[in-house]
Structure 1
Amino acid sequence: MRYYRRDLLTLLISLFILSSCKNPSGIGLDNNPGDSFYGILNDTLALHTVTLKDDSARSVFLPEDRTSNIPSINIGQLPFGYFKDDIFGETQANVAFTVLRPDEGDARLPEDAQLDSAVLIFRYGSSFVGDSVSSTYTVQVKPLNEIYGPVSTYYSNKVWDVKDEVIASAQIHKFRLTDSVAVTVKGSTGEDSTVKVSPQMRLRLDNNFVSNLFAHSLDSATLNSDAGFINHIKGFFLTVDKPNLQGIGGLATLGFSETRIDPSTGAINSVSPNGISITYHVKTEDGERDTTLTKMFPIPLPSTSQVSSYMSSNVSRSYSSTIQEQLANTNTNQTTVYAQGMGGLRTRISFPNIDQLKGKKIAINKAQLVIYVDEDHLGTSAGPAPRLTLYRKDIAGKNQPIPDGDSRYMRDPRSQYGLNGIGPKEALGGFYDKTNKRYVFNLTSYIQDVILDKVQNSAIYIAPAWDNVNINGVPFWSDINAPTRVVLKGYNETDAKAKKENRTKLNIYYTELD
């Protein structure tokens, strides 16, 4: 190994020659600050940036397969709503779901039951994109005309067969993701009480529809078996009535349960799933007074051992002319690029001239991909995604993690993920830096593999991911959990130099070997 020492004159000359390092516009071999060795800046290499349609996003849980080293795909929240984005265009996310019969007792209503109310309950998730102040939504529930299969695999591009009948409709002025809700609870003696519950959407279902759906006259043997119940119920469809939307709208997220944690011990006290809560009253045996009762038809939590989910999202889009033009011209380098979660859009970055680095006797000390938000084209509808993920494709075209951010059970030995508590942010990066308006990814091992010809297809892909670091580690797939989007500065060497602006770049720090 050879080390190079710089005297004052050499240092001044180097600083003059490398002045473009302040705003490098592409791949560069740069000196590692603080090291006594350095490389020669190679500013002749270019990046190629382009916007592509992403793969559809898996909308139900996938269990881990350690034998095949396939990680679990966890779904912690699902997108819902309608959003008129001034840059991306229109996006609608609906939720299809079904309920399960109660754990105990007859699924049917008693013969003499008089229905008081039937309320559909959905807990909110943690993410929102759009107008949180002035938009008003008409939210509707309709029956499915096909059976929702709890063990079926659904993706974001699933088109559901939905009946025209509206069995619930309500105007929502704001998706209140952080506001608790006051709920009136009827006691068994008819006395009402008010309790506060976690942030949730509550929709009153049509009493006649519910009474007929769970009528006592239905066959007991059929309705009280899991398969018979699901075949009878089929499922439901939660949607926003687009013609009655006021404002630009937004995309909220729906969670799967309410979890109450003891603040003193951190223990989980109870987990309450979503579902349909039916309140009704019947005569007591002596016939003198009514008794108020409740049946809960839950939307069960996703299984942790098999594909089993009772709710999923489907997402449809009508892209703006700007996005359509991008997607129609993917062979040219695009100086502004776009990424959208939920299986929408991703940015591909490739290195067409990286072969120039192959064969050089160098060891990569650090390689970082730096991507800046394009504020001039970001629009005013939504801010940058809090987090982006990055992955590659193998020779078979399948998504794969890069070694630096591998969070699978059997990880690349060079991955820092999980070592001494290191998480996604430190291992791979990709979290939004508000101060510098950029995302930084660590690609040291990956770039070394590319230069050593261990990777044949060197292109990488970038898309939004949920910023909840406890979910999915470092995903290398389309993330249904993230309704977010971002506009990025692609590669443009001319603009970077003329405007002295920061653009997408790859910084490489290396040691020259003998």
Structure 2
Amino acid sequence: MRNTSFFKIILLAITVVFFVSCDKDFNTIGGDLIGDEHFGLVHDSINVLSYNQKLDPVASNNLPVNPLGIYEDDVFGTTEANFVTQVVLASVNPTIGANPEIDSVYISIPYFSKFTYTETGDKKYELDSIFGNPEGKIKLSVYRSGYFMRDLDPLTGFLETQKYYTDQVSAFENLIVSDRLNNKDDDPSQNDQFVFSNKGFKDSVYVNGVKTLQLKDPEMRLMLDKAYFTDNILKTASGNLASNDVFKNYFRGLYFKVEKSGASPGRLAMMDFKKGTITINYKEDLVTTTNGQSTTTRVAKSIVLNLTGNTVSLLTNTKKPAYDTALNNPNKTLGDSQLYVKGGEGAMTVLDLFDKTDVKGYDANGNETVGMNHIPDQLDELRRKDPVTGKSIMINEANLVFHVDTTMGATKIPNRIYLYDLTNSTTIVDYLYDGTTGTNAKNGLLIYGGNLRKNTAGDYFYKINITNHIRSLVKNTDSTNVKLGVVVTENINNSAMNKLRSSFTLTDGKVISKVPQAAVMNPLGVVLYGGNSSVPDKKKLKLQIYYTKPN
């Protein structure tokens, strides 16, 4: 009997400790909103007003990565992505000897790739960030550009960076100053039938005078016109190579132009052009004198040009009719049933998290506000304090879940979307408070979310955590319920903003002049279900809130 009582006491003590610990952890979440009372968990699913917003030409100079190629999407249409870059000398003012003659000149730009396995001594690779039919080809032409790209904008008194926009294709094409430089006629894969190949390279290099083979990962490797670079680099006036300021004005840059290759469906790759180089391998005379007798020998030398100057991504879009109609006729009152979200010169979604019903409301003390200007009714209900305890509710979790409309048949669904404070063109607090970082652009900020996911029913969706954003709205009754924006993203860690050529105005009169830079880089698009009443309830965009009320 005594032992039984003892074990009962021990069991009771463990139980008390367990529940006290659990209660402490539970109340830590959102502890700034409520004390240590016990709560009952409540789940609300709130409709969200959401509609399409067309994005006009946007500044696309000096992006971290750029699309190049042709991408055809069954929903959005065709995107042609051209590219322009300045060219600079890796080493300025090179000394070029007598009788220079080029052995080879080529451009090399690495692809995003990963090693997969080795087969019979050869490394096999898989290309990353490449879209379209695996058999797709494009017609690729590289020209010398005569367009001088300024660093600073004279219209701002040279105080701001000069901006170049996605729609300036004709401005650059009208100033092409050479024939096609990648003119190797006996190899159409270099130009008229170019393919993004996953094959590595074996280059011959000299190390301490010994010729060895150097293995290189997959890259764009184009042989260029030797005669052109002889005349315009090796035999140009030495003053043109004296400094990079002079050289950028002299040589200017390269224009990468893409076109359809016959009936091929085309293909597009994301590329880091700033890692690209032009290598000019040549021989020149070396004269040595021994005992008064001169001897001339041919020596091998090289000049390297880097693609690290100013750049601009140029986009041409041919829209599908349904997509074009949706962008030009958004329902800003009831919301759109289908939300088109596309990168580049594309489309975004505008969100208003709470209904604008103006029937009644409550102030911070729970008193009804009649005939007064007040915050939206649903948000009022969340903010209203309990009339007995005087306590606010505690927000445990809040999410936005976007269901993908797979019936539209988009060719490729983006891996991630990005939700931000559209009103102020900045991040939301949950983005800043995430605390998780990834090793690359794809896997950071996992708590904040936005990754493409798939449920047990096989449906695709994106889920974004906005718990702290909603907590702030509920707790701070004077805070503004800002509009939110949704775009595709190429890099979740990049929250920079780029200027639109033409701004747009929200329903509350706010003028928006910027969009996320990471959306400008991404060529993909996705169709999401909106919050319109015509959308089936299980697919409808809603704000999911889990909260507890004080007892």
Root mean square deviation, CA, Å: 3.2
Find 2:487's aligned residue among 448, 463, 470: 463
Q: Tell me what 2:166 maps to.
A: 157
> Secondary structure at 1:161's aligned position in 2?
helix
Contact 1:136 1:246 in 2 (8 A): no
Specify whether residues 424 and 89 from structure 1 end up closer, same or farther in structure 2 by C-alpha distance, changes over 3 A only: same
Q: CA deviation at 1:93?
A: 1.4
Q: Which has the higher strand share?
A: 2
Q: CA deviation at 1:135?
A: 1.0
Q: Tell me what 1:370 maps to.
A: 401
Specify whether residues 173 and 213 from structure 1 end up closer, same or farther in structure 2 by C-alpha distance, changes over 3 A only: closer
How many residue pairs align between the two structures?
418
Q: Tell me what 2:516 maps to.
A: 477
> Secondary structure at 1:174's aligned position in 2?
coil
Q: CA deviation at 1:103?
A: 1.7
1:473 and 1:195 mapped to 2: Cα distance? 38
Q: With structure 1 as the length reference, what TM-score do the two structures score?
A: 0.72
Q: CA deviation at 1:386?
A: 0.8
Q: Deviations over 1:305-348 (max 9, x none)?
A: xxxx4333222212111111011111352212121223422122
Q: Tell me what 1:182 maps to.
A: 202
1:459 and 1:104 mapped to 2: Cα distance? 50
Q: Tell me what 1:53 maps to.
A: 54
Contact 1:132 1:175 in 2 (8 A): no
Query: Where does 1:71-110 land on structure 2 (aligned, <5 Å)?
Result: 75-103=63-91, 105-106=93-94, 109-110=96-97
Paired letter, 1:357: Q
Q: Tell me what 1:295 maps to.
A: 303
Paired letter, 2:331: N
> Secondary structure at 1:38's aligned position in 2?
strand
Query: Where does 1:264-303 land on structure 2 (aligned, <5 Å)?
Result: 273-285=275-287, 289-300=297-308
**Does 2:337 align with 1:317?**
no
1:102 and 1:494 mapped to 2: Cα distance? 60
Query: Where does 1:406-421 land on structure 2 (aligned, <5 Å)?
Result: 406=432, 415-417=433-435
Paired letter, 1:405: Y
Q: Tell me what 2:4 maps to.
A: none
Stretches of structure 2 that go unaligned for 5 or more consecutive residues are 1-37, 114-127, 153-160, 184-190, 288-293, 357-375, 386-392, 498-514
Q: Tell me what 2:445 maps to.
A: 425
Query: Where does 1:107-122 land on structure 2 (aligned, <5 Å)?
Result: 109-122=96-109
Specify whether residues 38 and 55 from structure 1 end up closer, same or farther in structure 2 by C-alpha distance, changes over 3 A only: farther
Specify whether residues 155 and 434 from structure 1 end up closer, same or farther in structure 2 by C-alpha distance, changes over 3 A only: farther
2:340 and 2:547 mapped to 1: Cα distance? 31
Query: Where does 1:34-45 land on structure 2 (aligned, <5 Å)?
Result: 37-39=40-42, 41=44
Paired letter, 1:391: Y
1:103 and 1:149 mapped to 2: Cα distance? 21
Q: CA deviation at 1:155?
A: 4.6
Contact 1:450 1:458 in 2 (8 A): no
Q: Tell me what 1:250 maps to.
A: 267
| Higher mean C-alpha deviation, range 369-378 or range 165-174 | 165-174
Q: CA deviation at 1:157?
A: 1.9
1:357 and 1:450 mapped to 2: Cα distance? 12
Contact 2:496 2:517 in 1 (8 A): no
Q: Deviations over 1:164-219 (max 9, x none)?
A: 6322242455323x542234558999x9764321221111222222122114351x
Q: Tell me what 1:212 maps to.
A: 231
Q: CA deviation at 1:40?
A: 6.9
Query: Where does 1:430-449 land on structure 2 (aligned, <5 Å)?
Result: 430-435=450-455, 436-449=459-472
> Secondary structure at 2:317's aligned position in 1?
strand
Q: Tell me what 2:418 maps to.
A: 389
Stretches of structure 1 that go unaligned for 5 or more consecutive residues are 1-34, 62-74, 258-272, 301-308, 407-414
Larger Rg: 2
Contact 1:378 1:486 in 2 (8 A): no
Contact 1:393 1:460 in 2 (8 A): yes
> Secondary structure at 1:141's aligned position in 2?
strand
Find 1:356's aligned residue among 370, 377, 389: 377
1:150 and 1:211 mapped to 2: Cα distance? 28
Contact 2:438 2:444 in 1 (8 A): no
Specify whether residues 419 and 287 from structure 1 end up closer, same or farther in structure 2 by C-alpha distance, changes over 3 A only: closer
Paired letter, 2:523: P
Specify whether residues 322 and 287 from structure 1 end up closer, same or farther in structure 2 by C-alpha distance, changes over 3 A only: farther
Paired letter, 2:467: T
Contact 1:188 1:293 in 2 (8 A): no
2:151 and 2:182 mapped to 1: Cα distance? 23
Q: Deviations over 1:443-489 (max 9, x none)?
A: 1122234445544353211111125x6x4269871314433322212
> Secondary structure at 2:453's aligned position in 1?
coil
> Secondary structure at 2:494's aligned position in 1?
coil
1:346 and 1:443 mapped to 2: Cα distance? 19
Contact 1:82 1:92 in 2 (8 A): yes
Q: Tell me what 2:123 maps to.
A: none
> Secondary structure at 2:67's aligned position in 1?
strand
Q: Tell me what 2:340 maps to.
A: 338
Q: CA deviation at 1:404?
A: 1.0
2:81 and 2:256 mapped to 1: Cα distance? 9
Paired letter, 1:161: F
Contact 2:108 2:278 in 1 (8 A): yes
Q: Tell me what 1:328 maps to.
A: 328
> Secondary structure at 1:399's aligned position in 2?
coil
Q: Deviations over 1:374-417 (max 9, x none)?
A: 110133x22x11111111233xxx412111112xxxxxxxx233
2:318 and 2:111 mapped to 1: Cα distance? 25
Q: Tell me what 2:373 maps to.
A: none
1:171 and 1:224 mapped to 2: Cα distance? 36
**Does 2:150 align with 1:142?**
no
Q: Tell me what 2:541 maps to.
A: 504
